[in-house]
Amino acid sequence: MRQLIFQEYVTLDGYATDADGKASFFGTFGEHEAEVRATIERVDTMLLGAETYRLFVGDWPSAEHPIAPLLNALRKVVVSTTLAETPWGAHEPATVVRDLDAVRALKAEDGQDIVLWGSISLFHSLLAAGLVDEIELRVCPILLGAGRSVFPADGSTLGLELIEARPSGERGVLLRYRPTGSAAHR
C-alpha cells in the first residue's frame, strides 16, 4: 500500500501560517532544493485541498524554478466538495475527489507514495481518519507567537514515533514521525 506523507513547513512554535494566513517565514529554513527534489522523486501523486490547490495553480504550472518540471509532472489530486474543474496550466489537470473514501482508494492503488503539501484542514481530516502514514515537518527557526497551528486543536491525542531528526537546509530541522495511535475523544 502506498504511504501518504504530510509535509509542511512549520515555525518552531508549531504554526503553519502567521495570524494573517501568510507563510512568509518559509525563507528562514534556507536552501534545500536537493531535499525537495528527493521528495518529488519518491512520490508520484500530489494531494491537495482546494485552498492549497488555488495557491499552487497560481504559481507552479508556469514557474521557472528548477523543480517545477518535476512537480508539474506529478499526478495531482484535489480533495474538494466545491471545485468542479482543476486545470493546471498547460499540464494535465488535477483530478477532483470528493471524500476520504477516495483518498483510501488512492492509497490502495499501485504506485509510489503520495505527498500532501499544506492543506491543513485536509491534513486534520486525514489524520483523524487514520490515513496519514508519515508527518514530515520542516521546522523553520522562527517563533511567531500566533497563527494557524499545523495540528488540530480539538483536544485529541495522537502518539508519534520518531523516524528521523536532522539539520536540514541551511538553518532548519527536518523531523519525520509516524503516527502510532490515538487516544482521541471522538
Nearest-angstrom CA–CA distance, 113 and 4: 6
Nearest-angstrom CA–CA distance, 25 and 6: 19
Q: What is the pLDDT of residue 30?
A: 63
- How distant, in Å, are the alpha carbons of 56, 64, 114 from that of 70? 14, 12, 14
Task: Find the largest Cα–Cα distance for the chain.
Answer: 46
Confidence bin at 182 (pLDDT 50/70/90): low
Confidence bin at 134 (pLDDT 50/70/90): very high
- Per-residue pLDDT tens for 61-108? 999 989 999 999 999 999 999 999 999 999 999 999 999 999 999 999
pLDDT at 157 over 90: no
Share of the chain above pLDDT 70, in %: 95
Is residue 169 a part of any domain in this protein?
Answer: no
Q: Which domain holds residue 145?
A: 4-164
Is residue 170 a part of any domain in this protein?
Answer: no
How many structural domains compose the chain?
1
Share of the chain above pLDDT 90, in %: 73
Is residue 184 a part of any domain in this protein?
Answer: no
